[in-house]
Structure 1
């Protein structure tokens, strides 16, 4: 199976950062997510109950980032990956967390992780 469900550019406003001033403001993170999922069953049934619900995944990621308020992107990425694997049964994922504006001279900065085994 090589099917993927993806979410690109999910915007989340949250407290994140290691500096004191960052702990007093909300900053925008952009989340890109690819998740292995067998799309043959929902493709045949046309039933959302058989699909990986990307709206529910998006809501969970947003809520987790807002609740967690981590110092590091690395912490946020690990926690999100763990949650998606445990709560949604995702066996493999690639997650990119972008923190636009963190380095003024760069178009973007962030972290990218892969967790699990791609089927």
Structure 2
């Protein structure tokens, strides 16, 4: 004799969760624009170029308990560190700069993953942006 399949419980019969499940938390810095000296050729490095930087960071999803900046990643501190590195120069490749920016991001202990996109905005007249995107995981 086969048993009849169990009836699914109705939503009202299941216990209601009092707290939503914490799945993920991301910090985003979008369209940070800086002017810097970067490029493979001497000609390219003699004039400053605009770069657009976008970051998406997966961070420890711990909501603040006391509404205090010390409980979360400080976006202002992160943005300033990114700006400083970009304008400091000393690199030829966007790929190298992207790795440097990843290292800055992972200097914040809450960061688990980083997606970094850097685009040169003025390199080619007929291209709105040309660049690199990397993803790194701790």
Gaps of 5+ in 2: 1-22
Tell me the equivalent position of 2:87: 66
Out of 61, 73, 85, the position equivalent to 1:52 is: 73
Q: Classify the secondary structure of the residue corresponding to 1:41.
A: coil
Runs of 4+ in structure 1 displaced over 3 angstroms? none
Tell whether the 8 Å contact from 1:9 to 1:30 is kept in structure 2 after alignment: yes
**Once the 2 structures are TM-superposed, how far is the Cα of residue 50 of structure 1 from its aligned partner?**
0.7
Tell me the equivalent position of 1:30: 52
Structure-1-length-normalised TM-score: 0.88
**Once the 2 structures are TM-superposed, how far is the Cα of residue 39 of structure 1 from its aligned partner?**
4.4
* Cα deviation digits, residues 37-84 of structure 1 (max 9, x gap): 234332x32111111111111100111112243111000001110221
Bigger radius of gyration among the two: 2
Higher helix share: 1
Q: Classify the secondary structure of the residue corresponding to 1:6.
A: strand
CA distance in 1, matches of 2:67, 2:61: 10
CA distance in 2, matches of 1:45, 1:38: 17
Tell whether the 8 Å contact from 2:24 to 2:61 is kept in structure 1 after alignment: no
**Whose relative contact order is higher, 1 or 2, with alpha carbons under 8 Å and at least 6 apart?**
1
Structure-2-length-normalised TM-score: 0.77
